[in-house]
Amino acid sequence: MLNRAVLTGRLTRDVDLRYTQNGTAVGSFTLAVDRSFTNQQGEREADFINCVIWRKSAENFANFVHKGSLVGIDGRIQTRNYENQQGQRVYVTEVVVDNFALLQSRSDRDNNSNNNGGGYPGMPSGNNAPTNNGNPFGNNANNNNGNSSTGNNAAPADPFANTGDSIDISDDDLPF
């Protein structure tokens, strides 16, 4: 049997971090995931997926993300039910997060927190996905922690630019 969910989306609100009676941290949040197609009006719709994350991961996640943050999550789909105060049976389907990845640099996350008014809560205006010269993953997609190697928002410098050295490659050097 296989039950895996891998999602990339934006938080619609800050993580609701709580603690059980045993002191175990649990965070709940909703992830807005854009659909890969547009509707008849040419607008891109989104699915809003309820997620839950546990223990130290929940505390770390709540500390590093906020409304509008672009994140990737890996987990499993879980269904549960309970009886509410009115005596009605309530069914809940959610993704239990095993792993997560922050898909923006800190400066991009900070800029997005100041820019609300997109297609759904927490989204910047425009095409619902901030880009940096076509790169939706921040300033430096090759840097795993999302921070630019130059320490600012500029694109990484070309290590071969302005050195005065020419690059001499012969056909014998090529692998094909």
pLDDT tens digits, 59-90: 999 999 999 899 999 999 999 999 999 999 99
Q: pTM of the prediction?
A: 0.59
Q: What pLDDT is stored for residue 98 in this prediction?
A: 94
pLDDT at 114 over 70: no
Which residue segments constitute the domains of the chain, with CATH numbers given?
A: 5-35+43-113 (2.40.50.140)
Provide the pLDDT confidence category of residue 40 given band limits of 50, 70 and 90. confident
> How far is Cα 143 from Cα 106, in angstroms, rounded to an integer?
13
Q: What pLDDT is stored for residue 167 in this prediction?
A: 61
Question: Of the candidates 71, 76, 75, which has an alpha carbon nearest to the alpha carbon of residue 33?
Answer: 71
Chain-centroid distance, C-alpha 49: 13
Average pLDDT over residues 47-60: 93
